[in-house]
Amino acid sequence: MPRCSETDGGYSARSLAQALDGRLAGDGERRITGLSPLATAGPGDLSFVIDTQRQDEALRASAAGVILVPERADVEAVPGRTLIHLDDVYLGYARASQCLGAIRRARTAGVHPGAFVDPAARVAADAFVGPGAVIGAGASVGSGVVVEARCVVGEGVTIGEGTFLHPGVSLLAGVVVGERCILHSGCVIGADGFGFASAGAQGWEKIEQLGGVEIGSDVEIGANTTIDRGALQATRIGTGVKIDNLVHVAHNVEIGDHTAIAGCVGIAGSARIGAHCAIGGGAGILGHLSIADHVTIHAMTLVTRSIDRSGHYASGVPHQEARLWNRMLARLRRLAR
Pick the closest to residue 159 from 127, 118, 111 (CA basis). 127
Catalytic residue among 85, 166, 184, 251: 251
Pick the closest to residue 215 from 195, 245, 192, 190 (CA basis). 190
Q: How far is CA 173 from the centre of its chain?
A: 22
Pick the closest to residue 21 from 87, 107, 105 (CA basis). 87
Distance CA 210, CA 214 (A): 13
Please list, in sequence order, all residues whose beta carbon lies within 8 angstroms of the beta carbon of residue 104, skipping any fewer than 6 positions away: none
User: 193: which DSSP letter?
Assistant: P
Pick the closest to residue 120 from 154, 86, 166 (CA basis). 154
Judge whether 251 counts as a catalytic residue.
yes
Report whether 218 contacts 236 (CB < 8 A).
no
Pick the closest to residue 75 from 53, 94, 43 (CA basis). 53
CB atoms within 10 A of CB 273: 27
Distance CA 168, CA 113 (A): 17
Catalytic residue numbers, as ranges: 251
